[in-house]
Structure 1
Amino acid sequence: MSDAPTLETELARARDLSVAALADAIESIGFECTRCGACCRGHPSEDGGDREPHTATVFPDEVRRLQDAASETTDGGGTGTSEAAETYDWRDVARPMPYGLVGGDEGSEGETFEWALQTDACGDCVFYEEVGERPDGSPKGACSVHDDRPLICETYPFSVALGGTSQPMGEAVDEAGIVRAHECEGLGRDIAREDAEELAAALKERAVREIEEAIAVRDNYEPRDVDGVVVHDSEGAKRPDGSPVGDHSDGE
């Protein structure tokens, strides 16, 4: 029995992916966003308990870009200067990936890997908003930072079958070659070739970024014996507010 491919091998495969071939696969499956918002909202738990929050992986540089995009600016009272109307900090945009964390006396604690987009009290992505109704009367969803949305959002409902990449929103429901499609009511609809190629290019970029991130996390990982939550990403160990471990009273 052969050994599983290394992350470095999978990274080389990701970099060699053909955008044209990925676009062919996307075309064969078909997709058009229906603005249902299902991929941005929390969802019912499998055991029928509390609603599960939306969980989407976001890279550290994407968190910073979203901070900038979400921080609104206004003309400083007609003075010709700009001032921040609302400034988003790290915790407004991202939260520690919940997997691996446990409840403690003062909240969650433990070590986890990577970041998830922040959610509101309903478990929906904080950047999700309803902007009217669809033809069937159901709410029409929108992203308030659409032009700066993370790659995992830009490429949903697709992923590629390479080690080191993630599967958003559960198992695949369709596939064409290396491309996997995940649950979405927009699947099976006609997609223009230009749109398929744009989506394919983003899908390749995401695959490369995910594997690069996984390699960096692996290479930088050092167990941390500190109180509270530690998040390991490609830049090292961080606190939930995005600051490096060691910047606070961590006993180091």
Structure 2
Amino acid sequence: MESLEAELDRARDLDVDDLADAIESIGFECTRCGACCKADEADPHTATVFPDEVRELQDAESSGDSTERDWRDVARPMPYGLTETADGTEGETFEWALQTDGCGDCTFYTEDADGVGGCTVHEDRPLICRTYPFSVALAGTSQPMGEAVDESGLVRAHECEGLGRDISREDAEDLAAALKERAVRELDEAIDVRDEYEPADSASGEVVVHDSEGAKSPDGTLRKR
């Protein structure tokens, strides 16, 4: 298996025009169905968000909402690796997921009276949202399960009703640039998480989140070493 550093070099060498060709070949237009923002039948919505993106969303202007947000209004510990005990949730996990509401949908998702979905922080949405339903198949990146879009199998597309619709070259290039940025950011983050990681001495009922900035509590504050 290639090292994360080697995969990062591959991500940095991605050709935006080639990515745009792949996106343009299948086509995409968001239909605002909300499927990518809502919980599925079994699990709450889970979308990875970088630490600096959490801070940006804390300060983002939200349509119809002027409330000041703290870290936990934006992000929650990624649930993988955590367990439920009689004392509450505990364990160690890696990275953050966008916060969800009581229905398991993204906390920033809303629907109008006609059921048309929308994001209340659309201009400041994270890279994983900007690039959905696409990803690049590099080790160390988040890869939605889906079909290969290009012959090399590098560009992948998750099931989405917006696929197959016309997309302009300009929009394909914008999406491709964001897709490359996301791949580089995810690998940078993975390398920093690996280098910063130290097993946590956590007490019962405690959650520790490891991200590129170190070990943190669920409120986003760094834990003392």
Q: Structure 1's 9 and 43: CA in aligned 2 closer, same or farther, altered over 3 A?
A: same
Q: Which amino acid aligns with 2:199?
A: P
Residue equivalent to 2:216: 238
SS in 2 for 1:206: helix
Q: Counterpart of 1:125?
A: 106
Partners of 1:122 and 1:71 lie apart in 2 by 20
Indicate conservation of the 8 Å contact 1:7/1:215, yes or no: yes
The answer as to whether partners of 2:62 and 2:120 remain within 8 angstroms in 1 is no
Q: Which amino acid aligns with 1:209?
A: R
Cα RMSD between the aligned structures?
1.6
For residue 36 of structure 2, what is the amino acid of its counterpart?
C
Structure 2 stretches of 5 or more lacking a match?
none
Query: For 2:5 and 2:32, how far apart are their aligned partners in 1?
Result: 37
Equivalence map 1:140-219=2 (5 Å): 140-168=116-144, 171-176=145-150, 177=152, 178-219=154-195
Alpha-carbon offset, residue 71 of structure 1: 7.0
What is the rounded CA distance, in whole Å, between the counterparts of 1:64 and 1:106 in structure 2?
30
Confirm or deny: 8 A CA contact 2:8 2:188 kept in the other structure. Answer: yes
1:167 Cα shift? 1.9
Checking the alignment, whether the CA contact within 8 Å between 1:113 and 1:232 is kept in structure 2 is yes
Q: 1:87 corresponds to which residue? A: 68
Instruction: In structure 2, give the amino acid aligned to 1:175.
Output: V
Spell out the pairing of 1:19-34 with structure 2 (5 A cutoff): 19-34=16-31
What percentage of residue pairs aligned between the two structures are identical? 70
Structure 1 residue runs of 5 or longer lacking an equivalent are: 46-51, 75-84, 134-138, 247-251
Write the deviation string for residues 83-122 of structure 1: whole angstroms up to 9, x where unpaired. xx52100000000000000012231100000000000000
Deviations 1:160-192 (A, max 9, x none): 011110024xx1134213110001000111110
Moved over 2 A (4+): 70-74
Aligned residues: 221
User: Out of 77, 86, 92, which is 1:105 matched to?
Assistant: 86
Distance in 2 (CA, whole Å) between partners of 1:88 and 1:149 is 15
* 1:114-159 Cα deviation digits (max 9, x unpaired): 00000000000000000243xxxxx210000000000000000000
The yes-or-no answer on 1:63 pairing with 2:39 is: no
Larger Rg: 1
- Three-state SS of the structure 2 residue aligned to 1:108 is strand
Q: CA deviation at 1:72?
A: 8.4
8 Å contact 2:47–2:98 — kept in the other structure?
yes
Cα pair 2:28 2:162 within 8 Å, conserved: yes
Matches of 2:9 and 2:71 in 1, distance apart? 32
Q: In structure 2, what is the equivalent of residue 229 of structure 1?
A: 207
In structure 1, the residue matched to 2:38 is: 41
C-alpha distance in 2 between matches for 1:72 and 1:150: 16
Please report the TM-score for the alignment, with normalisation by the length of structure 1. Answer: 0.85
Instruction: Please report the TM-score for the alignment, with normalisation by the length of structure 2.
Output: 0.94
Give me the whole-angstrom Cα distance separating, in 2, the residues matched to 1:72 and 1:185.
Answer: 26
Aligned AA (1:23): A
Q: Which moved more, 1:62-71 or 1:88-97?
A: 62-71
